[in-house]
Amino acid sequence: MKRVNIGVCGLGTVGSGTFNVLTRNLSTIRARAGCEIVISHIGARRDNPACNTGGTRISKDIFAVANDPEVDILVELIGGVTVAKDLVATALQNGKHVVTANKALIAEFGNELFEIAKQNSVTVSYEAAVAGGIPIISALREGLVANSIEWLVGIINGTGNFILTEMRDKGRDFEDVLKEAQALGYAEADPTFDVEGIDAAHKLVILSSIAFGIPLQFDKVFTEGISKISTIDVNYADELGYSIKHLGITRRRENNAVELRVHPTLIPKNQIIASVDGVMNAIMVKGDAVGPTLYYGAGAGSEATASAVIADIVRVSRLCKETVESNVPHLGFSSECLNSFDVLPIEETQTSYYLRISVEDKPGVLSSIAQIISQAGISIEALIQKEPREGQDLVSVILLTNRALERDIIGAIEKIEDLDSVAGKIVRIRVELLK
């Protein structure tokens, strides 16, 4: 059997999981790969008690792995973008294939790294960068290759989904649940990446590029986090038959344009994806031929992510020592045939809307609001008004609209907020029916 040497850089949660799963399932993995896969060199500053690396060579300097002539595939699991980018570039320039779980690295520097890979006739594989153990990149690049993709919607940050689930089911406050998510190890080192949607934006950009064959454009994603979602809105949404999920959404629009956005979204409770709770991830993809499809599983965690890392190691091992760029295009489209779609500004995107308006309890208020909305060319799908709470003068009016352009609803909201009988700012959350 051909032997393929793997160099693993980083022995944290995912690195130790990769080592353990490869060791435990070695004979099956070898049989499936058709070659002998050996971790020959580890780059890590310290041992990890979660795995027994035995006699494997360990270097404190990770660049020793990238410069080791014996290593065929470098597995980058150190995270971050600065050192990781230098490490990956060095490995590629040294003619090594790279496998990485680093979503920020691919989303922000993928175009550049793919070019270096191409020039050196090697490849960068990144299945583990999106949605942990769910093989969504293989599904898009291979399983759905016959389709023109219409849209993709994903719950792609486990921490955010855990927070929203706990708020809905247990009425807990945002801050309280976030602390628990950090303690359980779900959150990123900087948890604002989770709650402000940056982590999801990294993953969405990658998925959108593969779905539509467009270059990676992280700077163009509209990103809104979940930190402003209150338990009140989670409960009203529930009453209207909706769940609030933090979604990454990309949709193909007319005239070679795409929407690329991450934000809290109301979705009908009868959609399967609405019942994806806790830290689980799910991605719905609609292809013109296959219709809607759904991919569900653990989006984070040591061995779940290792599952995707090893899938890439096996895939690349099968191709090792061949010229692979033409066989495995990095974004699923040959690099000469990438599309140049425009990413639409958020004002040009279309969704339905949930609005919560605090108003004085007096005649004519509702009709003035309805008039403004109708003058903006937007129709109202549902409306509820709550009794004022004891000792309070203001009542809540909750509206669901039909699909409208973002700029039209923003204009209508500004006018409604100017009404004398309307108090404070209107809460607005986008709604997707996923049809």
Active site residues: 203
Q: Report the nearest approach of ligand HSE to the CB of residue 180 (Å).
A: 13
199 forms part of the interface with ligand HSE (CB under 6 A): yes
The DSSP call for residue 435 is -
Between 157 and 223, whose beta carbon lies closer to ligand HSE? 157
Between 118 and 203, whose beta carbon lies closer to ligand HSE? 203
104 forms part of the interface with ligand HSE (CB under 6 A): no
Q: Report the nearest approach of ligand HSE to the CB of residue 290 (Å).
A: 26
Q: How far apart are CA 298 and CA 156, in angstroms?
A: 10
CB atoms within 10 A of CB 326: 12
159 forms part of the interface with ligand HSE (CB under 6 A): yes
Residue 402, token pair as written in the block: 């039909």
**Binding residue (CB under 6 A) for ligand HSE from 68, 72, 108, 194:** 194
**Binding residue (CB under 6 A) for ligand HSE from 262, 300, 304, 429:** 300
Interface stretch with ligand HSE, choices 43-51, 70-78, 154-162, 349-357 (CB under 6 A):
154-162
For 204-223, b/e burial (b = at least 16 CB within 10 A) is: bbbbbbbbbbbebbbebbbb
**Binding residue (CB under 6 A) for ligand HSE from 40, 100, 125, 157:** 157
Interface stretch with ligand HSE, choices 6-14, 156-164, 289-297, 364-372 (CB under 6 A):
156-164
Between 195 and 398, whose beta carbon lies closer to ligand HSE? 195
Q: Classify residue 68 as exposed, middle or buried by CB count within 10 Å of its CB (0-12, 13-18, 19+).
A: buried
Kindly report each contact of residues 47-50 with a partner whose C-beta sits within 8 Å and lies 24 or more positions away, as own/partner: 47/11, 48/11, 48/12, 48/15, 48/16, 50/13, 50/16, 50/17, 50/20, 50/302
- Do 121 and 324 contact (CB within 8 A), yes or no? yes
- Do 150 and 284 contact (CB within 8 A), yes or no? no
Q: Report the nearest approach of ligand HSE to the CB of residue 200 (Å).
A: 8
CB atoms within 10 A of CB 69: 9
Q: How far apart are CA 135 and CA 146, in angstroms?
A: 18
Q: Report the nearest approach of ligand HSE to the CB of residue 104 (Å).
A: 10
For 164-183, b/e burial (b = at least 16 CB within 10 A) is: bbbbbeeebebeebbeebee
Q: Report the nearest approach of ligand HSE to the CB of residue 79 (Å).
A: 10
53 forms part of the interface with ligand HSE (CB under 6 A): no
- Do 115 and 85 contact (CB within 8 A), yes or no? no
For 378-408, b/e burial (b = at least 16 CB within 10 A) is: beebeeeeeeeeeeeebbbbbbbbeebbbeb
**Binding residue (CB under 6 A) for ligand HSE from 158, 213, 297, 332:** 158
The 259-298 site mask, x for binding ligand HSE (CB under 6 A), equals ----------------------------------------
324 forms part of the interface with ligand HSE (CB under 6 A): no
Q: Report the nearest approach of ligand HSE to the CB of residue 300 (Å).
A: 4
Q: How many residues does the chain have?
A: 435
The 113-142 site mask, x for binding ligand HSE (CB under 6 A), equals -------------------x----------
Residues 173-192 that bind ligand HSE (CB under 6 A): 186-188
Q: Which residues bind ligand HSE (CB under 6 A)?
A: 132, 157-159, 186-188, 194, 199, 299-300
